[in-house]
Structure 1
């Protein structure tokens, strides 16, 4: 059965999945790249990078997925819908290699990219978007790619089967929090924690 999964979603110690002040030149606002430095220090990202726990988790990002759902804020900076030439922040060959469903109020025709990625733009509710993505995934799982608002909405709707959150040892103080409104979420999942020498704590949530 196709599952809805979150992988490698980084939050700060105070639960923020992105910073404040997001713009075309500051994709994660005042957080910069600090939430994701742990990924880019691994052997997956760079020759000679570290192995171990961080590398093992980051490599699972691409395993077993046939489609992705992401929010408008992940696809582009605020106001991207006003730029008809905007095709995402990943260049001509995005790393998804599958259908990607962008949740947005500003629907536009699909965009076909190199490497098998096609961006579809939809104003659907979470359950409807997930049903569409599962149909497109060909029996494989659907990655709920973020940002924090989208993951929170899917969690609140009870639609996430598995989630990996990397808690990074920084304090942002402001931005978009993942956990707001999700009181007692832990009752719905079996939760495990794995610590890394990098200071990152990897939390996995498996629906009970």
Structure 2
């Protein structure tokens, strides 16, 4: 049975997964890259960028689970591109000709377009669908493998609220953003449905893992 998972999604102390305003020049708004600095020193990150270096500590051990057993990805419109990308017929995402997903990838947008086949096994499919409908299509594409919800915060939040997510890995970074897209909004008593573990590391972040109770 396949599962729905979230991995390596970084949030601020006050729960924001990105700042504002988001743009092509500043994809994470006023947050910049501060939410992701913990990852940049890991072997996981360096190997994705063809660099054999990087640390192998707890941050890396948790980060590498991101790609294990994943057969499809779901992401929101704001992860795929900056505001207004739907008006650019040539926009194919932030990641160049060979995106790092290597699976069918479902982009939630109110303005769907034809699928885009990229190098390395990634095909972007554009859906105007509810989280449940998107998960159903992604599971069909993933076969026996799992579905990863890659973000942003709104997509993750909506999927959790709909009872669709089995495993959530959030990385709490010790900064306060004050505004942006918040992953916790509307998720009161989330702890009632999940077993929660917290692991703090020398980089200063805390890895929060939520495993849905059966």
TM range (shorter): over 0.9
- Whole-Å separation in 2 of the counterparts to 1:119 and 1:169: 33
Aligned to 1:31: 31
Q: CA deviation at 1:40?
A: 0.7
Please report how far the alpha carbon of residue 49 of structure 1 lies from its aligned counterpart in structure 2 after TM superposition: 2.1
Which residue is equivalent to 1:93?
A: 98
Secondary structure of 1:35's counterpart equals: helix
Q: Report the alpha carbon displacement of residue 81 of structure 1 after superposing the two structures with TM.
A: 0.2
- Note the C-alpha offset of 1:32: 0.5
- DSSP 3-state at the match of 2:2: coil
Structure 1 gap segments, 5+ residues each:
none
2:157 equivalent in structure 1: 152
Q: What's the TM-score once normalised by structure 2's chain length?
A: 0.96
1:20 aligned partner:
20
- Residue 136 (structure 2) aligned to one of 120, 131, 136: 131
- Which of 105, 111, 124 lines up with 1:106 in the alignment? 111
Q: After TM superposition, give the deviation of residue 57 of structure 1 in Å.
A: 1.1
User: Mind listing any 5+ residue stretches in structure 2 that lack a counterpart?
Assistant: 47-51
Q: Determine the C-alpha separation between the residues in 1 that align with 2:81 and 2:195.
A: 33
Root-mean-square deviation (Å): 0.7
- TM-superposition CA deviations, 1:150-170 (whole Å, max 9, x none): 000001101000000000111
Matched length: 208
Q: Within 2, Cα distance between the matches of 1:44 and 1:155? A: 26
**Structure 2 residue aligned with 1:56:** 61
- Measure how far apart 1:35 and its partner are: 0.4
Q: Secondary structure at the match of 1:121?
A: strand
Q: Quick check: 5-14 or 42-51, which moved more? A: 42-51
CA separation in 2, counterparts of 1:115 and 1:167? 31
2:6 corresponds to which residue? 6
Runs of 4+ in 1 over 3 A off after TM superposition: none
SS in structure 2 of the partner of residue 54 of structure 1: helix
